[in-house]
Amino acid sequence: MFAALGILILISTSCYGLDNGLAKTPPMGWLSWERFRCNTDCVNDPENCISEKLFQTMTDLVVADGYASAGYEFINIDDCWLEKHRSHDGKLLADRQRFPNGIKALSDYIHSRGLKFGIYEDYGNFTCAGYPGIIGYEQEDAFQFAEWNVDYVKLDGCYSLPLEMDLGYSTFGKLLNSTGKPMVYSCSWPVYQIYAGIQPNFSAVKTYCNLWRNYDDIQDSWTSVENIIDYYGNNQDLIAPNAGPGHWNDPDMLIIGNFGLSYEQAKTQFAIWSILAAPLLMSVDLRTIRPQFKRILQNRKIIAVDQDPLGIQGRRIYKHKGIEIWSKPIGPLYENFYSYAIAFINRRSDGTPSDISVTLKELGLINFNGYRVEDLYENVDYGVLYPNTKIKVKVNPSGVVMLKGEVQFPN
């Protein structure tokens, strides 16, 4: 059944990203939104509200619990950090009760721990939660972020007109660059235009943004993860060529370790996000995460797939009766032969693992010198296999088996 895979990994060599020298690999870090949302009740829920205390705590845990050493470097605020109104001179103000020391102090705290600081705003009159947006204050806000030593800006798109986003988002990207402070620029530009029935100009998007959203916000459920996987698979011919060093498609946060995913489903999300060369932004309570989910998030071999310096977004190369195969070209290379990361997914829910058998050649691994094949979750080394070698994997329902085939050089 695999003879008709028709594998063609389309690799764009003409993608040029935002000229700020940043995000040469997909950003990695921790983001508050999916897990902590817009909880501003620090009186009744002081441990979980959006506050400087929460971000300081997560900063400390990212360092102490090994996430930073695995590559997670950003601590990103999302919506609901602001006062409801600007200052008398038009400056953004952090909520005085929840951020009593101000944003610059929080930025300094995060930097003192060796991490980087990200902030949220909106290209609109208001943020999605109703706080002040940047429209009318674009230059002032860009320079204020620079004064706060911000390293990453996420710009949402509520309360704005999608037709104006081409100019608005690109202008703000230029303003960020003009400050002289390098800041990763995360845009929501395409998704709002897609919702409005407008085909985004991805050439412009990847010129001005380091990463961007294409699809729905992730929710804490397997259904949500599946919908995102389907969107990226069904639209890969349009989406994948736009990704590369400095400019990435963003399928949204990792929800691993929360309430909605089983262990198998969490492994699947991490595997597919790495195949997609996606930003790896955890949104989880690091104080209570269970060890098995922590191990997934810190799987350095799979992180290396995501962070592969070639920056090629992988593709779905097979889909039939609930079984999918995804493939990503990675380094090292031998002549014109790539190494590959391969994810076998079982989307079935019939309660029993499914066997998948396929030769390396059918997966597009055709170098006659062979490939050293390794299971990246089970840490099993299968040795050097050749194009005509048939491999067989057993994949649990809603689970994944992820292999790496490293191209071999002639003796």
pLDDT tens track for 57-73:
999 999 999 999 999 99
| pLDDT reported for residue 411 | 84
Q: What domains does the chain contain, in order, with CATH numbers?
A: 28-307 (3.20.20.70), 315-407 (2.60.40.1180)
Active site residues: 156, 217
d(CA 396, CA 375): 15
| pLDDT reported for residue 18 | 62
| pLDDT reported for residue 19 | 78
Q: What is the 3-state secondary structure (H, E, C) of 109-154?
A: HHHHCCCEEEEEEECCCECCCCCECCCCCHHHHHHHHHHCCCCEEE
C-beta of residue 160 within 8 angstroms of C-beta of residue 192: yes
Q: DSSP class of residue 98?
A: T
The two structure tokens encoding residue 129? 């939660």
Which helix or strand (DSSP H or E) is residue 186 part of?
A: strand 184-187
Exposure letters 232-244 (e unless 16+ CB within 10 A, then b): bbeebeebbbbbb
Q: Which stretches of the chain score pLDDT less than 50? A: 1-17
Whether the full predicted model's pTM is greater than 0.85, yes or no, is: yes
